[in-house]
Structure 1
Amino acid sequence: MTSFPRFVDGIALGVATQVSSRELRRHCASTAAASALTHPDYSILGGRLYVAGLHKDTQRSFTDWVICYGTGKDAILGREVVELAKRFGSDLDDAIVHSRDFLFSYASIHSLAHSYLLRVDGRVIERPQHMYMRVALTVHRDNLPMVLETYDSLSRRLFTFATPTLANAGTVHPHYASCFLYMPDVSSSAGLLEGVHDLDRFWLADGGIGLSLGGVPCRRAGTDGQPGVLSLMKVYDAHADYTSLCRRTRPSRATVHLPIWHGDVQPFITCRTSRAAAHERVKGLFLGLWIPDIFMERLASDESWSLFNPTDVPGLLETHGGNFAAQYEEYARTVDPVAVVRARDLWAAICRAQQESGGPFVLYQDSINLKNNQAHLGIIRTSNLCTEIVQFASREHTAVCTLASVAVPRFVRSSGSYDFGGLHAVTKLAVYGLNALIDVASYPTPEARTSAEETRALAVGVQGLADVFMALGMPFSSSRARDLNVAIFETIYHAAYEASCELARRDGPYPLFSGSPASSGRLQHDMWPETVTSDRYDFGALRAQIQEHGLRNSMLTAQMPTASTARLLGNCDGVDPYTSNVVAHRVLSGDYTEMCGWLVRDLERRGLWTEHMRLDILRNHGSVQNVAGLPDDVKEIYRTAWEIEPRSVVDLAADRGPYIDQTQSMSLNIAQPSADEMMRIQLHAWERGLKTGLYYLRTQAPAYPLPYGVGRIPAGTSAPAASEDAGKVVDSGSTGEVQCETCSA
């Protein structure tokens, strides 16, 4: 490989005749990162150069730094953090390991500096290790052993809290919750418009929002006409656009969830596509469909489907399962529908919209409510922004969730085994931290605080599952990968429930625990038919402990997208497979493209990594399936998301489903899906009992643009990503996906 001379030449060519030392460091760092297509180690080199400059411009002592920026009229840190830093100063300073900053890749440290590290007058004034200690101190306050243990795990990148916590912990804006599930007042137009103020407050508190408009009367013309769902969404969309300008790290976004029987569902499905009329098109709102079992049955048997005005069918909003089906059929006989359509025609419209915009998202309302830890509170009618949080919400209870994700690749041992004990311990640490955050957070509305304090819901998920499989040489859809997938999530589930039970023994169960399924010994995995737990953990003993002491938290696990925080830790998003072996990181801070590190190091071990091999992979758009000279096992391990059967992705999600008490942001990559193919996949997801049938549908354009590093683009230089989907090297088509950084844990 001749990349290093090219890298040096790139530095020389790009330097101006007069340049400051800071500008020179940044130039060297970005030039190194631009060579990451040659070898991923250049991204690490770029990160180290960037960190060297950052360390030169910031204070070393955490205590001195806190006192400097936490006092005076322009203080950006909260008073309690300052007092704790003064109290434990030497212990905190001695615990910090600044050298760990040099482990960040360029993409990671650049994203961290752009969106997470604190700034004053536009200048970054915080080191990554300061951020981790700031977070740990905020979470555990005067419990010094827990502060130091949490700092160490965050610093070693074993797990991470979600974006709002990382960005706001210890500051004068203590907003730590990631997700709000909101139910507007649908009793009048005035009530619906008053709800806009609540949405504004959630957005300004750095939250992502899910809300149900299922009870909003559908559009009707006339003197007593109703404006309908789309007109209301336009109002919400305008507020999302405005509040986006007021936020530091990410735009304001919400997902509107609508039942598939609603009379406005047809224009709702198309309102993010080019087919929508200009006055009905929205950009800051995403779409979720709530689909009952009876619709899927009629879809499978090619029957008709009736759409209703919700004011005519109030019972449909208050039932689920068999009761819903009976109520629906009764209304179909006795109530005049808004329209009657063929179920498959409606599905074809959904598929066309998904091909163009990536949505609407698909959620199965009966599976959600039949497997509900909060079943004693009422019907769940909405999810969150990214479809992984499902909780009861009402006018009096705005459901809230605080998130974290565990970096599962960190527990792969060099021997080729997996450290389940370490994973279990870190999961418990994450639960302790999230539970503590519930008490120290600020909430934008009284209804949000009420729900947070009475249900104490939290969510632990994972990031980097695909990295685990690659590190251990397992094809993504292999039986070994399926077994490890279940073992990882069973471990996280057991650890989370054990930690919550320990907290309940100390502090008491969550206030609304009485009457919950868990209070009678029925846990989430008991709600899934034919679930067989392993012998690794004693669930019988855990169940007995929960019945005796309760749980401190009503919800404990979910699988979020982790789109942003996975970049910080250098992992693949959530549980998704790699979309290309040429990885394009696209987040708010910019685009960074590099070769897949697992593939490069695997080929180096085999003596197969050459310049010719590199160019061959680029010519194949990041795929290795048609690259000559590669062993078959390499081609199997490094299949991209486009080369993995979607049913395999569904099966992996269903296999881990019993250990996820909320739900999963499951995206699918299908190059050119048809309505029939999507129907088969979704029928399979529904039959396997998934709660979320689809988060994003990602598609590909029929023709590829010129691949990076080939032809007119000089090898070793960076190029902008061609789509908004982080991780693709080529145009995704037109999904219009915007990565959900609000929910990413």
Structure 2
Amino acid sequence: MPTEDYLGIKIDLERDQLFDNLGIQRLKESYMKEDEESPQQRFAFVSKSFASNDEHAQRLYDYASKHWLSYSTPILSFGRSNKGLPISCFLNYINDTAEGLVENLSETNWLSMLGGGVGIGFGIRASDDKSTGVLPHLKTYDSSSLAYRQGKTRRGSYAAYLDISHPDITMFLEMRKPTGDQNLRCLNLHHGINISDRFMEMIEKCMSDPDADDRWNLADPHTGEVRETVSAKALWQKILEMRMETGEPYLHFVDTSNRHMPDWLKEKGLKINQSNLCSEIILPTNENRTAVCCLSSVNLEHYDAWSKSTTFLKDVAEMLDNVLQYFIDNAPETVSRAVYSAKQERSIGIGALGFHAYLQKNGIPFEGFMAKSTNIRMFKLIRGKLDESNLELGKERGEAIDAKGTGRRFSHVMAVAPNASSSIIMGNTSPSIEPYRANAYRQDTLSGAYLNKNKHLDIIIKDKVEKNNRLNYDKIWSSIIANDGSVQHVTCLDDKEKEVYKTAMEIDQRWVVEHASTRQEWIDQGQSVNLFFRPDVNIKYLHAIHYLAWKQGMKTLYYCRSEKLGKADKVSKRIEREAIKEIDFQSMIDGENCVACEG
């Protein structure tokens, strides 16, 4: 195996062959320094930067270069400029005073310039004779996201979260609509809603009894005064409609998050007030704490290789501890609340990508028992090894201040981020824990457009063409592209293969919720979970999927993806019709409607 020395690390240039052209192009455009000629040099530089010693650096390089480990974007781009810090995003809290409002805006802008996205908890009072309410402040943050950039070209990214009982909730819901009052629109700001158990229980009650009392009070968070009473059903329907129309708001089931917060944080009176820009970070915030997201991911497509390693997951956790320490040591005074939170909690978020790619590589449909058992096996092992690593590092390096007496180095260890860009770099694997959206799609880069084909499907098609000279390889792929990346019409594929290569829009979304809620048991933070629906989705099906997410214990929902009507939609429409027939709302309420039990 030919190797060369780079920064004291033996790098293997042949591992460049694990990339496709798009992956290498993405690395060159967005991550590599001008003097770096190979992705191997980039991996070596980053591994050396955040390793504990030379041996640790070599192992980290090997993990990354074999595509076992996916460094988060700010870690992978570290050293490309002198500005950014290797932290993905932050969550801050607005103290409802004049000083608090000014300080939080200033901190948010500083965090953005340091390269992080920011999730903001808007728990401020509603408009009255002393306050302007939430919307004028949202407009300020909306403008700031354009003014305070992350480097030369990337604008700031903020997400605002508001409680579902806030008097400004209706205006907040509509702030990203492209039409309406210009003064109330915030098109550059993402938004999420903190939904309580009490609200969802009222929706559940209405499912059993359509005539049930659904009066929902909107109360000022500062005074507790009820400002307005609305229909909970109408508000819920509005939320679902907005998600279909704009993809947002994100949904954060805030009571579920607080219930599962570690006991040692609850004992300190801490509270989770919001999630982050990608809805996978679930950490407490207050006037003294701005939560810090320190992330990287393991590639599940290579699970069978790295799951046998005795060092892999501990090495990744140790690397993130070093990243966290770098932030603590180098962050400016302007973000002191974030430094304090990082010191106290030492929370990290190890996530995953390549779940659907692993299933497809092994001929396992996303919908079914085999996928469910695979999901459980993977995340149970990851969490088990991370818990062991947490205690080992606690013994070696000391406990997190917040976790004194527990033996733990970290207050949290897992969070599953979206990983869209990282998945392209990691050999074009599937993003995060979600299904592929298409088996063929166009990807635009600064240097041009690339056609991406599903590599595992490509192997099958090549094999069939080789065995049958009547088949035409190019025509098969052209037909897949013409059918929006679907293979359901491809006659040379058998029924099992068509099941394995269903796209996100063709999969019964109950299985997306089933897998997410099942793995949540082992994820101490959250997951970026997207849902996929046709534009003309049946409202009963749409409601059922969102309700099940709460009922089955998920903490958040990220985007609601609704794509144009295409040639492959007849398949997803059939799946939706079959799901609606099977949905029994009373069984769902009683917790008896398990999609895995339906075969």
TM over 0.5: yes
Give the aligned residue type for 1:252.
G
| Maintained 8 Å contact 1:62/1:130 | no
The code of the aligned residue for 1:594 comes to: N
The alpha-carbon distance between structure 1 residues 606 and 365, as it changes in their structure 2 partners (threshold 3 A), is: same
1:563 maps onto 2:420 in alignment: yes
- Match of 1:682, as an amino acid? H
Q: Distance in 1 between matches of 2:447 and 2:417?
A: 21
After superposition, the C-alpha distances for 1:557-595 in whole angstroms (9 at most, x for unaligned) are 111101111111121110110111113335677643222
Q: 2:342 aligns with which of 429, 452, 465?
A: 452
CA distance in 1, matches of 2:529, 2:5: 40
2:331 alignment counterpart: 443
Cα distance between partner residues in 1 of 2:444 and 2:20:
14
Distance 2:140 2:102 in 1: 8
2:94 alignment partner, one of 173, 184, 195: 184
Deviations 1:696-737 (A, max 9, x none): 0000223569xxxxxxxxxxxxxxxxxxxxxxxxxxxxxxxx
What is the distance in 1 between the residues matched to 2:172 and 2:317? 38
Please name the residue that 1:611 is paired with: 474
Distance 1:699 1:161, change over 3 A: same
Residue 479 of structure 2 aligns with an amino acid whose one-letter code is: D
- Secondary structure of the 1:477 match is coil
Q: Does 1:202 align with 2:88?
A: no
TM-score when normalising by structure 1: 0.70
AA at the equivalent of 1:375 = K
Alpha carbons 1:412, 1:471 under 8 Å: kept? no
The C-alpha deviation readout for 1:64-103, integer Å capped at 9, x for no partner, is xxxxxxxxxxxxxxxxxxxxx5xxxxx43xx022232243
Q: Tell me the secondary structure at the aligned position of residue 168 of structure 1.
A: coil
Q: SS of the counterpart of 2:525?
A: coil
Alignment of 1:518-537 (within 5 A): 519=406
**2:219 paired residue number:** 308
> Paired residue for 1:722?
none
Q: What SS does the corresponding residue of 1:255 show, helix, strand or coil?
A: strand
Is the CA contact 2:157–2:189 (under 8 Å) kept in the aligned structure 1? yes
What percentage of residue pairs aligned between the two structures are identical? 28
Q: What SS does structure 2 have at the residue aligned with 1:338? A: strand
Cα gap change, 1:249 to 1:405, in 2 (>3 Å): farther
Aligned partner letter, 1:559:
V
- Using a 3 Å threshold, how does the CA distance of structure 1 residues 668 and 591 change in structure 2: closer, same or farther? farther
Distance 2:134 2:445 in 1: 31
Tell me which residue corresponds to 1:341. 230
Q: Larger radius of gyration, structure 1 or 2?
A: 1
User: Partner residue of 2:51?
Assistant: 140
What is the SS of the residue equivalent to 1:311?
coil
Contact 2:483/2:567, CA 8 A, preserved across alignment: no
Report matched runs for 1:404-483 at 5 Å.
404-412=296-304, 420-422=307-309, 425-441=311-327, 442-444=330-332, 445-483=335-373
Question: After TM superposition, where is structure 1 displaced by more than 4 Å over at least 4 residues in a row?
Answer: 60-63, 586-591
Instruction: Assess if the C-alpha contact under 8 Å between 2:36 and 2:42 holds in 1.
Output: no
**SS at 2:94 equivalent:** coil
Matched, 1:294 2:198: yes
The structural deviation recorded for 1:675 is: 4.1
- Within the candidate set 336, 352, 357, 2:241 is matched to 352
Partner residue of 2:294 out of 392, 396, 402: 402
- Structure 2 CA distance for aligned equivalents of residues 172 and 229 of structure 1: 35
Any conservation in 2 of the 1:115–1:249 contact (CA below 8 Å)? no
Distance 2:353 2:518 in 1: 17
The range that moved more, 603-612 or 350-359, is: 603-612
1:606 maps to a residue whose letter is: K
Contact kept, 8 Å, 1:250 with 1:588, in 2: the verdict is no
In 1, the alpha carbon distance for the partners of 2:532 and 2:103 equals: 39
Alpha-carbon separation, structure 1, partners of 2:397 and 2:472 = 56
Give 1:494 shift: 1.1
Matched, 1:106 2:21: yes
Whether the 8 Å contact between 1:169 and 1:176 is mirrored in structure 2 is no
Q: In 2, are the aligned partners of 1:585 and 1:593 still within 8 Å (CA)?
A: yes
Counterpart position of 2:146: 241
Shift of 1:225: 4.8
Deviation at 1:606, TM superposition (A): 3.4
Superposition deviation, residue 154 in structure 1: 1.4
The answer to whether the aligner puts 1:151 opposite 2:61 as a matched pair is yes
Tell me which of 485, 491, 499 is aligned to 2:375: 485
Give the residue type in structure 2 aligned to 1:640.
T
- Is contact 1:212–1:381 with CA below 8 Å preserved after alignment? yes
Task: Compute the displacement of 1:366 (Å).
Answer: 1.0
Q: Tell me, in whole angstroms, the C-alpha distance in 1 between the residues paired with 2:28 and 2:474.
A: 33
* Conservation of the 8 A alpha-carbon contact between 1:115 and 1:248: no
Equivalent of 1:646, from 501, 505, 509?
509
Equivalent in the alignment of 2:595 = none
Q: Kindly indicate whether the alpha-carbon contact (under 8 Å) linking 1:217 and 1:226 is maintained by their aligned counterparts in 2.
A: yes
Contact 1:347 1:675 in 2 (8 A): no
Change (3 A) 1:506 1:588: farther
- Contact in 2 for aligned 1:603/1:609 (Cα 8 Å): no
* Aligned counterpart, 1:10: none
Return the offset for 1:178.
1.0
Q: Distance in 1 between matches of 2:83 and 2:323?
A: 13
Evaluate the alpha carbon distance shift between residue 552 and residue 559 of structure 1 in structure 2; reply closer, same or farther with a 3 A threshold. Answer: same
Conserved 8 A contact 1:208-1:252: yes
Could you tell me how far apart the structure 2 residues matched to 1:275 and 1:249 are? Answer: 27
Say whether residues 1:680 and 2:513 are aligned partners: no
Match status 1:379 vs 2:278: no
| Equivalent-residue separation in structure 2 for 1:667 and 1:657 (angstroms) | 15
Whole-angstrom CA distance in 1 between matches of 2:195 and 2:538: 20
Are 2:18 and 1:131 equivalent residues in the alignment?
A: no
Match of 2:254 among 352, 358, 365: 365
Q: Which residue of 2 aligns with 1:637?
A: 500
Matched, 1:551 2:408: yes
Tell me how far 1:340 sits from its aligned partner. Answer: 1.1
Q: Distance in 2 between matches of 1:421 and 1:484?
A: 16
SS at match of 1:406: strand
CA–CA distance in structure 1, aligned partners of residues 153 and 24 of structure 2? 15
Uncovered stretches (5+) of structure 2, i.e. residues with no partner: 207-213, 466-470, 569-599
Structure 2 length-normalised TM: 0.87
Q: Which runs of 5+ in 1 are unaligned?
A: 1-59, 64-84, 86-90, 314-334, 414-418, 520-549, 706-745
Shift in Å, 1:649: 0.3
**Secondary structure of 2:190 counterpart:** strand
Contact 2:33 2:80 in 1 (8 A): no
- CA distance, structure 2, for counterparts of residue 596 and residue 609 of structure 1: 17
Aligned length: 545
Inter-CA distance 611–102: structure 2 relative to 1 (3 Å threshold): closer
Partner of 1:739: none
1:592 to 450, 465, 468: 450
Residue 390 (structure 1) shift: 0.6
Residue matched to 2:597: none
What is the correspondence of 1:40-189 to structure 2 with a 5 Å cutoff?
85=7, 91-92=8-9, 95-119=10-34, 125-140=36-51, 143-169=53-79, 172-173=82-83, 175-188=85-98
Provide the secondary structure at the position in 2 that maps to 1:339: strand
Distance 1:388 1:644 in 2: 22
Which whole-Å CA distance do the structure 1 matches of 2:295 and 2:447 have between them? 22
- Tell me the distance in 1 between the aligned counterparts of 2:109 and 2:449: 30
Residues of 1 paired with 2:339 and 2:501: CA distance?
Answer: 45
Q: Which residue of 1 aligns with 2:575?
A: none
Equivalent in the alignment of 1:730: none
Looking at structure 2, the residues matched to 676 and 275 of structure 1 have their Cα atoms a distance apart, in angstroms, of: 27
Q: 1:501 aligns with which of 383, 388, 391?
A: 391
Aligned CA RMSD, in angstroms, stands at 2.2
1:230 Cα shift? 1.3
Q: String of CA shifts for 1:461-509, please: whole Å, max 9, x gaps.
A: 1111010000000001121111001111111111111111111111221
- Identify the residue that residue 712 of structure 1 maps to in structure 2: none
- In the TM superposition, what is the alpha-carbon distance from 1:126 to its structure 2 partner? 5.0
